[in-house]
Structure 1
């Protein structure tokens, strides 16, 4: 497997995803992963507050593109799936590329991404292309299509508006991002040396590893067996400092790695040298009724977050939150089966923990 740090695309990615922080709430941010919230660097929290402050004057103009519901992919994430940032050197070049797209190209890009993410399977990409092409040719079917998607009402409404005025909406988005750009650039420059350092160090660690370096560095959260391409760009993100994301749906897949992520993984590794603490974390997670039921669903082969959410009468965002904690606690892990990315119960870890529990309590 080949990895390469992409400095310029890292910057473009950060500017494009920065407006997500318009919905920042401190209590939500701190509880993104309650297992290790005490390990989140104070500097990361300060940065995110600063991002939110930068965005506040643009709030009303950004809301049609960046949705509050956690399970919804924002507009730029949908658009960039077929219009990847890899290969562009400047933000202005990428945004100008978006400006030049025809209405048909814009509509196809959004419809394709929406259908793909809703079905969430690699094998359905061809089907999603067919759906997108049909919707472009038959605009009268768009409303029904959007109604059947498992997305929030704000996303549904704004996407319906986009379907009637795609060029105008993209023009407005580009204008906003260009306004935010110089403000963000000034802040980004203060972190640029750290981002470059992290990118080069991470890439070298991955390339020098004799085994599965990705699994080793990420504590098994992400494995090389999930990667289908021979070469993966590495983007180091300041806008998403705690995020580890494998962007597989994109025409050109990449890995986004939060700038403080490896520091946290190192701290977790030190904590886990105390095996009793590891087991305490296991039972802490399973002590939550909803989380316990999520694991039960996974064990029964129910892997869709949407189906699990329906079974437990909660939102997909709630299930995603619990799955994130179950993964960091090693109770579940991400796997790929027949082109589909699913969560599985970590049987090996649980069996080992049960055996250790017997030893701790002198059980036969």
Structure 2
């Protein structure tokens, strides 16, 4: 397969403003563990977003809300076009009825309790007052609620304003993309080679994907991933927006992290597999504060207790300084919880320790 430069340039032009959305997200929440591990890539993305700053408000208007963003940006659908001008012509040709139908469908899908989306869409399109009542009950921000109402009152303007925004952003995107294109082309080849040699790599790394969730992973469409400027993935139960050219690096990182975590779990079970060490661990967890007390309780020597405690501390199961008066947590309960949850995931059990509690 060849790198479809013209086609992917158009798709990436649509995706580029999402960097502004990521910046907004970062200001509202703390970084995920994975983002902290990939700080170099995350910082590169921040740098790429700087030229978009003057257009922040307009970008967020179209990109922050899922229902509005997905009206324009569904990678699987837009792959059929080869340029933004071609796509813009299609958008221009859409009549109000079609625009409203698609937008209303996206809006109604946000109501998880709605059994029949199609019927509800038809009802709301026919009755503006019913639409207002529906909006009142949606768990969304008032600003978004107002945006929905005004957009449905002037859908053609909504589409024209989106086209106008991208015409304004095009020179900025072209400059950024020209610098990034050689990296994308190289990553594409590396990705293709890796997928061919290691076909299960995606199944091992992905727990899902948002922007490209409808892509058939077994088909040629898999080549889209490394050619995207940005990919919105779900890793380790957290969402992370990442540079497409770095997706292989991220996938390999995720797999290695998973292997390391599994080995950590194995080491914990090995450590507690020794009966004496397990009993000592339990005594510490119960609150026993002295080596002598544990030795007397178990009927073993203090030297034996000290040896096993040292191993437990080195394996991060017991807190260093566990026997001091001011030590409020003698064992690393977070690690134990993480290990048990990891065991349940490894064995495909659905409940976690927190859920059981």
Same fold (TM over 0.5): yes
Q: What does residue 119 of structure 1 align with?
A: 112
CA contact (8 A) 2:45 2:243 kept: no
Q: What does residue 49 of structure 1 align with?
A: 47
Alignment of 1:1-364 (within 5 A): 7-23=5-21, 24=23, 28=27, 31-34=30-33, 36-51=34-49, 53-67=50-64, 72-73=65-66, 75-80=68-73, 84-119=77-112, 127-207=116-196, 209=198, 212-216=200-204, 218=205, 220-222=206-208, 229=216, 231=219, 233=221, 234-236=224-226, 239-240=229-230, 243-244=232-233, 258-275=244-261, 278-279=264-265, 346=345, 348=347
Structure possessing the higher relative contact order (Cα contacts under 8 Å, 6 or more residues apart): 1
Distance 1:329 1:235 in 2: 32
CA contact (8 A) 2:225 2:247 kept: no
Aligned length: 268
TM-score, length of structure 1 as denominator length = 0.59
1:20/1:275 CA distance change after superposition, 3 Å? closer
Looking at secondary structure, tell me which structure has more helix per residue.
2
TM-score, length of structure 2 as denominator length = 0.60
Distance 1:60 1:275 in 2: 41
Secondary structure of the residue aligned to 2:32 is: coil
Distance 2:341 2:82 in 1: 40
Deviation at 1:40, TM superposition (A): 1.2
Q: Unpaired runs of 5+ in structure 2?
A: 236-241, 269-337
Distance 1:86 1:150 in 2: 32
Q: Unpaired runs of 5+ in structure 1?
A: 247-255, 283-327, 333-344, 355-364
Q: How far does the alpha carbon of each residue in 1:244-302 deviate from its partner, in whole angstroms, 9 at most, with x for none?
A: 279xxxxxxxxx9832122123234445554577449x9xxxxxxxxxxxxxxxxxxxx
Distance 2:52 2:90 in 1: 24
CA contact (8 A) 2:35 2:42 kept: no
Looking at secondary structure, tell me which structure has more strand per residue.
1
Structure with the greater alpha carbon radius of gyration: 2
